[in-house]
Structure formats: C-alpha cells, structure tokens
Amino acid sequence: MTGEFTIVAPPSTDIWRKPPSTDSFNAPTRALLPSAIPLRSFLRARITFSASWTTRYDQGGLLLHLKHPTQPNDRWLKTGVEFYQGRVFLSTVATQTYSDWSIAPPADAGNPKVTIEVRREGDELGTSLWVYEIVKGADGEVERRPLREVTWFFAEEEGWEIEVQAMAARPAKESVDGGSEGLAVTFDGVEVDVA
C-alpha cells in the first residue's frame, strides 16, 4: 500500500488518441512501481481516489501504459472517474491504435471515494484484462462490479513493458467557473501485484 498523495492536473491535459490527428499524452501521472516491468509479469492493480469533479471530462484514476522498443505507438488503458453531462461516471479508455471510451454509472454516486481494480484473468477462450469497480461497505468489499473486458491487452506480450501509474487530467481549457485552476485528485490506497 502507498500512503496518500495528490496529483494536480492543469487545464488542457489529457491522454487520448483519436483520428485523424489528435494524439494527447500530457496528463500528470505518478508511478506506482519503481520502473516498468515485463507485461507478462503484471497480475493486478487497485487504486482508491476522490476529487471535486466539476468540469466536463475531469478525470482521475489508474493508467496502464504499454511500450515496446520496436513499435511506433504506445498502447494504454486508463480507467477511473470521468465527469460527463454534469455527473460522475466510471470511465475506461483503451488505446491500441486509437482510443475508445466507455462509461457506466458508479454503484454509489453519493460516495466521494471510488475504488477501481484491473486484473489479468483467463478462461477457456484466453486471457484478458478485466476492469472492475470495487464497491465497499462498512465491513470492507461488498461487490466487484465488472465494467469492461479488454481482450487485446495480453494478446502480444513478447517485448512489451508496462508502467503502472496514477493519473489525473482536465482536458477543458478552463474550469466550469471560467478559471484556470487545476483538478486535484487525491489517492489514498494502491495495490499492485506482479508475478
């Protein structure tokens, strides 16, 4: 477990790749492991965080950043909270060539803290990365709500390395009140398991 820390994302920051020409990777991050590890070693990561989400596309959570020395484009998955249409959603963006995006309502929209977990899971059809919301109660974990399966994540492991990071972003050029302040996301629980 890592102690509490905060990431402040200034306006105009994001991690997003969309055709024909958008390729943004300027959001602040914090490494959750001392260095990149081979992708085949990654098993699971969990993170708990909160913020005062106010501006469209405000986001924070977990970033899994994949790099390969002979591939021209990095790959990544970011998952956590994204503020959209005036409310908090659980958001996952998976980027292989271009980014795609999915959102789902949280189990408890009134709870300021969100816990997200990503994990390697296999079945009779192969291995995937699964994204879950961890719903907690007074006695600990109550439910692991599935949000998304990313089937391509472990399909090509040879030579790929993964960086596990916390992230925050504020893609808007200014906050909802017209100011230029950043978004502060506070993280208070991190777990990373590797083989």
* Three-state DSSP class for residue 70: coil
Tens of pLDDT, residue by residue over 35-67, are: 999 999 999 999 999 999 999 999 999 999 999
Tell me the pLDDT of the chain averaged across its residues.
Answer: 94
> What global pTM score does this model have?
0.94
Domains detected in the chain = 5-194 (2.60.120.200)
Mean pLDDT confidence for 169-189? 84
Mean pLDDT confidence for 120-149? 94
Tens of pLDDT, residue by residue over 92-104, are: 999 999 999 999 9
Burial classification of residue 162, based on how many CB atoms lie within 10 Å of its CB (0-12 exposed, 13-18 middle, 19 or more buried): buried
Please enumerate in sequence order all residues whose Cβ is within 8 A of that of 99, keeping only pairs 6 or more positions apart, or say none: 16, 17, 18, 93
